[in-house]
Amino acid sequence: MDYSNELDPIVNEKMKKNLVYVGIFSVIMLFAGFTSAYIVSMGDSFWLKYPLPSGFWWSTGSIIVSSFTFILAIGAAKKDNQGMLKLFMALTVALGISFMYFQIKGYNQLIDGGIHPINNHIIVTDGRYGDYFELKYKGDFIEVDGNKYLIGGKEMTDPQFNELMQYMSQFVVIQGRDALIVKNQNKNIELYFNNQPVLIKSNRLYKDDSTKMEYVDEMRLSYLAMNIADRRGDFFVRGEFGKDFQIYFKGKELEYKNRKLNFKGKELSNYLQIKATETADSATSLLYLISIVHLIHVLCAMIYLLKVSIYSFTGKFNSQNNLSLRLGAIFWHFLGVLWIYLVVFLVFIH
């Protein structure tokens, strides 16, 4: 008796499943490497921690629900219920698109919070307020505490800060090596350089009656203007230190006082203070890398998902023919589980 016709579908299914499992294993190894690199990088360095954006949580809900609708779609195919198959496949596709939408929204939320995919440092160095330049507002020196700009110990009001931003905006752009031109003067705001008031003569900046501001110092002023325009004080990430974000060193949470990093009330050594200013924000770089690589895998899976969805609407899948549907579901469920793992990892580690 010839069993070849009966065995071929079984062998075919097994071979295709094995290919899917090989792909899954490869992805597991890739993300194991990413998460290992994350832990190793965090172990002996300054590390920025902040909550995940709400968009990531909404995307998590979307991919979880999409796994259930995919299961229901396969169940409908096995029962030859074409109407329910089409409905649940349409919902799965919609939820997959929703996942990508909320991921992108999450990235936008990070950027709005000053958390960019390519960021130089955790702590502001170029144009840091007070290093070279300071400002007086209506006769009182402006001070900085974290990302807050203060007058007399109180945070500047929105109208006050907007007035400051408008004044400083003229210093943001330097064209070539041309000297900065002061186009808009404000009687409420006075600029200081190295504790001395800056003079303005013929719309140019002077250190004193006869010495023009040097190019390197105008660049520093330009960086300060950029920081103020971005509502940035001592940190690139927006918000309040200790509330909206934290900085860790070798796994220990640091404190911030008098514009210095502290541990258990004791100021870190000068060496560590300098090291903190030179440390790149690896946490954010790895967060973007891990989540974007996962999003790329979801995008590739979505192409296959759209293909099988089209087939489901043409009546190709039924109780006797649903292998492609089941293979797509295996990888889709895996991506969902992988994302849940990444979210848990980032919540407890990041």
Position 42 scores a pLDDT of 83
Residue 305, domain extent: 21-116+281-349
The total number of structural domains that make up the chain: 2
CATH number of the domain within which 343 lies: 1.20.120.80
For residue 194, what are the CA distances in angstroms to 177, 201, 212, 213, 325? Answer: 22, 19, 14, 12, 70
Tokens of 204: 């140019």
Position 7 scores a pLDDT of 52
Cα-Cα-Cα-Cα dihedral sign, residues 308, 309, 310, 314: positive
Rounded CA-CA distance 192/343 in Å is 47
Low-confidence ranges of the chain (pLDDT < 70): 1-7, 119-120, 175-177, 350
Query: Across 140-274, where does the E strand assignment appear?
Result: 140-145, 148-151, 154-155, 189-193, 196-197, 199-201, 204-206, 246-249, 252-253, 255-257, 260-263, 266-267
CB 106 within 8 A of CB 53: yes
Position 223 scores a pLDDT of 94
129 shares a domain with 195: yes
Whether residue 265 is contained in a domain is answered as no
78 shares a domain with 40: yes
> For 75-92, what is each residue's pLDDT tens digit?
999 999 999 999 999 999
CB 224 within 8 A of CB 127: yes
157 shares a domain with 111: no
Rounded CA-CA distance 196/225 in Å is 18
Position 4 scores a pLDDT of 45
Whether residue 254 is contained in a domain is answered as no
**Angle at which helices 282-313 and 54-78 cross, to 10°:** 30
For residue 177, what are the CA distances in angstroms to 126, 180, 219? Answer: 18, 9, 10
Tokens of 12: 């075919």
pTM: 0.85
Maximum Cα interatomic distance, the chain, rounded to a whole number of Å: 108
Query: Across 243-337, where does the E strand assignment appear?
Result: 246-249, 252-253, 255-257, 260-263, 266-267
Position 2 scores a pLDDT of 45
> What amino acid is encoded at 82 in this protein?
Q
137 shares a domain with 76: no
Tokens of 50: 């902040």
169 shares a domain with 87: no
Listing DSSP states for 219-249 in one string gives HHHHHHHHHHHTT-SSBSS-S-BTTTBEEEE
